[in-house]
Chains A and B, each alone.
Chain A
Amino acid sequence: MKTKITTVLIIVTLISISAYSQNVVNLKIKGSDTVLPLSQKEAETFMKKNKSAKITVTGGGSGVGIAAFVDGSTDIAMASRKMKMSEKLKLQDAGKAYKEVVIANDALSVIVNPANKVSQLTREQIEGIFTGKIKNWKEVGGDDEKIVVYSRESSSGTYEFFKEHVLNNKNYGTSILMMPATGAMVQSVSQTKGAIGYIGFAYMEKNVKALKISYDKGKTFIEPNVINAKNKTYPVVRPLYYYYLTKDAAKVKTFIDYILSEEGQKVVNEVGYISLK
């Protein structure tokens, strides 16, 4: 009798442990530097609510995150661009089915040093600056000051999005300075009077100035802010993505559901991105 009771107790304990361990959220998230502050904040608030949850978030760029996702070293890839066909083919070859979730939107902002008197540019002028055709601020209504152009590295989704949607797929100029992370770009622009760069909206700080942009050749200039991004008058808005394996749906569901919930989307706005609703 005693043995039977002991056996039942052991089984019950084991079932409880396994049920408990299934509910424990233990996730690795890697990728886009743009999505990084959002994921960090979401993970932080989520872990406060779920004491047993453990979420580690690291940046590196969209390309780095998706590469880690393909080789299985992260559960979720953060990306500020859509997954490329070449990456999809690699996943297919590995027999991995994946899901794509848009978690927020971002208004990509072109930033300059606050001391710069230029506060607005047309898309064509931005293209001229980043492709190296416009080299001095006086050519676009500023002081006689050399333009120092900062860009993200080519593994960054922001780099690719900016090239495609702002530079009309034109090549970046040869004299641009590549920044390994968005934070480094903000710092450099804040310290260099003639600097210009581009960042995800959440990285916006007081020590840099966001430019108004015109996509109708100078007729109207729109400021990058949440209202303009939501009513779609600001032209450079992009979705931010999470990618996860279909087989991991149960594992990531709680966290992704949280981000998409009212509370999670509130965090999106707090961080400086544009919520989905």
Chain B
Amino acid sequence: MKKQFFLKVIIALFIMNTSLVIKAQETEQSPFDTLANSVNKLKDDMDLLKRIKISGYLQPQFQMSDSNGIASFAGGNFNANSDKRFMLRRARVKVSYETLLSQYVFQIDATEKGFAIKDIYAKFTEPWAKAVSLTVGCMNRPFGYEIGYSSSLRESPERGRMSQIIFPGERDLGAMLTFQMPKTSKWNFIKAEAGMYNGTGSGAVDFDYKKDFIGRIRMDKSTKSEKISYGLGFSYYDGGYRQGRKNVYTNAADSSGLMAFVLNNDTTNYGAIAKRTYMGGDFQLNFDLPIGMTTIRGEYIQGQQPGTSSTTASLTTQPTTDNYIRNFNGAYFYFLQNIWTTKFQFVAKYDWYDPNTDVAGDVIGQTVKSSADIKVAKTGKNDLKYTTIGLGLAYRWDNNVKITAYYDMVKNETSKNVTGYTKDLKDNVFTLRVQYKF
């Protein structure tokens, strides 16, 4: 009986105590506390969501060329029987996740031609000076200005011919170190990047043991009045390809003194590296003038490019034919003029690409003679220089929509010794593009 009574008392005390605790907890939470807790929870969730950024753009366009089936760098070659086309030039979606000291980026391109991965990389910044970052994965190569400049911002529809030939697809797989002091430092205007890459581009598996070094240093400043800004950059590429054959051709005079491709068939050439070296300099100037913002931008690159007899483009697979090594140069210059304070912008661009600076004009394609000592091959259509003048007008509707009308006037070097290239080809292209950006 006594035992039962005590048990009842203990249970009653326990229940009372529990209800008091619950009551106490309830009374401690004022409406403001509850609201503050909810706001804090929402803030935490928002902070997390803010780390995820989704962006992208679509570039549907209509193009007309001078003649059917032209080879073109204004969005790829035209089909054999076509001189007009609609196409989805780019359709990109980029997702990035950022924390204070790291960034993870994934970008795809999905067009009528298929699905391609553009960027997949992670970037980590050291926590002390916050000046050095390591980027690993598939990313833009740190060479020059045009390669890394987003297609959504670029004023001309395409990069110059040279950029497309020496850096097809722009990206590559590798690891890069970046040095840039934080924004609070007076040295923030200098940025240095250096990395090691496969050298075969983003869509290809490396086929040799050689890894390529790419380095770039740039500075950007503006005047005190914020009316002029200027930038300067220098880039260097030191790479190469494994030669799959012993036959290597370089430019030199044949036995009669004519410039030709001269053969070196030393057996040690097989498996050796054909050097791929580029050097480049670029500049950007922006002026805030009463007639509107003016931009002048230029870049010059020269170097040595290993290729084949049929292409000077950077290789993505082991060549199965003889190796041809050429000295090349190229450049582009932009003049951009905002028309007063309207939404219109005038665009002018001049670019050239000379795939073989050792030969020019009628020397290209001329018949050359081999002798007992010197075996030679003649140059050809792949050694011709191209210049392009582009004129355009852009209308920036708002933050998201831009309409561009652009005309590319392509001029090829002519030679009476190259069939089909004795005169300028009819390969100008008009592009009308609408860009939707989000």
Residues of A at under 8 Å CB distance from B?
Answer: 71-72, 82-86, 88-89, 92-97, 154, 164, 169-172, 246
Secondary structure of the B side of the interface? loop
Q: In the complex, A88→B338 CA distance in Å? A: 12
Extra contacts besides A72-B399, A86-B229, A170-B186 (7): CB < 8 Å: A71-B399, A82-B225, A85-B222, A89-B229, A93-B396, A154-B184, A246-B341
Q: Are B398 and A94 in contact (CB under 8 A)?
A: yes
Which B residues are in CB contact (< 8 Å) with A169? 186
With A85-B286, A154-B183, A172-B184 known to touch, is A97 a contact of B226 (CB < 8 Å)?
Answer: no
User: In chain B, what residue has the closest Cβ to A155?
Assistant: B183
User: In chain A, what residue has the closest Cβ to B396?
Assistant: A95
Q: Are B341 and A88 in contact (CB under 8 A)?
A: no
Which of B185, B224, B288, B399 lies in contact with A164, CB distance below 8 A?
B224
Which A residues are in CB contact (< 8 Å) with B185? 171
A199 CB to closest chain B CB (Å) equals 19
Interface centre among B153, B342, B343, by most chain A C-beta atoms within 10 angstroms, is B343
**What 6 A-B pairs are tightest by C-beta distance, nearest first?**
A95-B396, A97-B341, A85-B229, A95-B343, A85-B222, A94-B399
Which A residues are in CB contact (< 8 Å) with B183? 154
Is B293 in contact with chain A by the CB < 8 A criterion? yes
Q: In the complex, A84→B286 CA distance in Å? A: 12
Contact with A along B382-397 (1 / 0, CB 8 A): 0000000000000111
Q: In the complex, A248→B338 CA distance in Å? A: 20
Which B residues are in CB contact (< 8 Å) with A95? 343, 395-399, 402
Q: Are A85 and B228 in contact (CB under 8 A)?
A: yes
Which A residues are in CB contact (< 8 Å) with B186? 169-171
Q: In the complex, A71→B186 CA distance in Å? A: 27
With A85-B226, A85-B286, A171-B184 known to touch, is A92 a contact of B399 (CB < 8 Å)?
Answer: no
Q: In the complex, A34→B186 CA distance in Å? A: 23
Which B residues are in CB contact (< 8 Å) with A89? 229, 286, 293
With A94-B398, A95-B398 known to touch, is A88 a contact of B288 (CB < 8 Å)?
Answer: yes
Inter-chain contact total with CB atoms closer than 8 Å: 55
Q: In the complex, A92→B226 CA distance in Å? A: 15
Interface size on B (CB < 8 Å)?
Answer: 27
Q: In the complex, A84→B226 CA distance in Å? A: 6
User: In chain A, what residue has the closest Cβ to B345?
Assistant: A92
Q: Are B399 and A88 in contact (CB under 8 A)?
A: no
Q: In the complex, A119→B227 CA distance in Å? A: 38
The 13 listed contacts between A and B (C-beta, < 8 Å) are: A82-B226, A83-B226, A84-B222, A84-B226, A85-B229, A88-B286, A93-B396, A94-B396, A94-B399, A95-B396, A95-B399, A97-B342, A246-B341
A2 CB to closest chain B CB (Å) equals 45
Q: In the complex, A89→B229 CA distance in Å? A: 10
User: In chain A, what residue has the closest Cβ to B336?
Assistant: A92
With A85-B288, A97-B341, A171-B184 known to touch, is A92 a contact of B398 (CB < 8 Å)?
Answer: no
Interface centre among A85, A94, A97, by most chain B C-beta atoms within 10 angstroms, is A85
Q: Are A92 and B293 in contact (CB under 8 A)?
A: yes
Which A residues are in CB contact (< 8 Å) with B398? 94-95
Q: Are B341 and A93 in contact (CB under 8 A)?
A: no
User: In chain B, what residue has the closest Cβ to A163?
Assistant: B186
Interface residues of B in 208-239 (CB under 8 A from A): 222, 224-229
B412 CB to closest chain A CB (Å) equals 33
Which A residues are in CB contact (< 8 Å) with B340? 97
B225 CB to closest chain A CB (Å) equals 7
Q: In the complex, A82→B288 CA distance in Å? A: 13
Interface residues of B in 283-311 (CB under 8 A from A): 286, 288, 293
Q: In the complex, A150→B402 CA distance in Å? A: 45
Interface residues of B in 251-287 (CB under 8 A from A): 286
Q: In the complex, A53→B228 CA distance in Å? A: 39
With A72-B399, A169-B186, A171-B185 known to touch, is A92 a contact of B225 (CB < 8 Å)?
Answer: no
Q: In the complex, A160→B153 CA distance in Å? A: 28
Contact with A along B340-378 (1 / 0, CB 8 A): 111101000000000000000000000000000000000
User: In chain B, what residue has the closest Cβ to A91?
Assistant: B293
Which of B184, B228, B229, B338 lies in contact with A92, CB distance below 8 A?
B338
B429 CB to closest chain A CB (Å) equals 24
Which A residues are in CB contact (< 8 Å) with B338? 92
Q: In the complex, A172→B182 CA distance in Å? A: 12
Which A residues are in CB contact (< 8 Å) with B345? 92
A180 CB to closest chain B CB (Å) equals 15
Q: In the complex, A93→B347 CA distance in Å? A: 13
Which B residues are in CB contact (< 8 Å) with A246? 341
User: In chain B, what residue has the closest Cβ to A63?
Assistant: B183
Which A residues are in CB contact (< 8 Å) with B288? 85, 88
B353 CB to closest chain A CB (Å) equals 27
Q: In the complex, A89→B297 CA distance in Å? A: 14
